[in-house]
Amino acid sequence: MPVAGKLRLRDVTIVDTHTGKLTQSIDILMDKGRIVAITPSTATSKDSSIPSIVATGKLAVPGYNKMHVHVLDQGNAPALLAWMLAEGITGFRQMSGSLELLAERRNGTLPIGKNAPALLVMPGSLLTPFNSRSPEMVRAEIQQQKIQGANFIKVALVSPEVFFAAIAGAKSVGLPILGHLQEGVAPERASRLGFRSIEHLGPGDPIWIGCSSEQSALLEDAARHPPLKAPPIPIPAFIQRIVMARLHA
């Protein structure tokens, strides 16, 4: 689709995604990739100088937001983002963040080309036992991520004690918190306390445990067997990346 000049979609059906209403026989005029006029096809003035695409039977819908992607930390991020845009995705939520990515966003150097959806939000570093071994440590990490410019907090693989401290800490700095539901944590309790969304339905056992009549006993047992225990000493960053990659493989 050319973006340098004008283009008209003729006889398209517009979808109102709020009500589900379909409005047929509509012409949409775009200029440099932006919609500048929407008129009934019967009322559109004819202008042969404007390229047109007959879209009878086709649907025009708003752009889609893709709310869980790990694209900016990929080596071919510009190509992947261009492909997303071609598929109708006009906004995305980056689910993996870091101190480096947040700095690149501040400096305008993220690997986002001209043909890309808009970056909606991005977290800081994932909360794990590496950077959040205790309630005090997780609160300090969240405060630091707020300063760094994170839009939300993402948590994974921490103990229930640290998990609940993270929810309170995120709330205290005005940031949403979401991510993986932790072993030993009931989903309804997490939701009531302010956990915004559960990504991947876990991972782990809490969702199916929540369907059991033995929920309390199973949650207690799960909390005693975390997938990743807090190391007693700080671990180099490259080892952290290797461990996390193997856990998510």
pLDDT in tens, 99-139: 999 999 999 999 998 889 999 999 999 999 999 999 999 99
Residue 112 and residue 173 in one domain: no
Same domain, 153 and 200: yes
Which pTM value belongs to this model?
Answer: 0.81
Q: Residue type at 5?
A: G
| Single-letter residue type at 55 | A
Per the structure, the count of domains in the chain is: 3
Structural domain for 221, as ranges: 135-247
Asked whether residue 129 is assigned to any structural domain, the reply reads no
Which of the four pLDDT bands, split at 50, 70 and 90, describes residue 249? Answer: very low
Shared domain for 141 and 243, answered yes or no, is: yes
Give the integer Cα–Cα distance in Å for 202 and 187.
10
- Is 31 part of any domain? yes
Q: How many angstroms separate the Cα of 138 from the Cα of each of 155, 158, 238?
A: 10, 10, 20
Buried b (16+ CB within 10 A) or exposed e, 206-228: beebbeeeeeeebbeebbeebeb
CB 26 within 8 A of CB 14: yes
Distance of CA 230 to the CA centre of its chain: 27
Do both 156 and 114 map to the same domain?
A: no
pLDDT of residue 238: 59
For 34-48, how does the pLDDT look when each residue is reduced to its tens digit (9 = 90+)? 899 999 999 888 888
Cβ distance 144 to 111 under 8 Å?
Answer: no
The answer to whether the beta carbons of residues 118 and 152 sit under 8 Å apart is no
* Residue 241 reports pLDDT greater than 80: no
Whether residue 11 contacts residue 54, with contact meaning beta carbons closer than 8 Å, is answered with yes
- The answer to whether residue 127 sits within a structural domain is no
Q: Are residues 68 and 11 in the same domain?
A: no
* Residue 197 pLDDT greater than 80, yes or no: yes
In-domain check, residue 170: yes
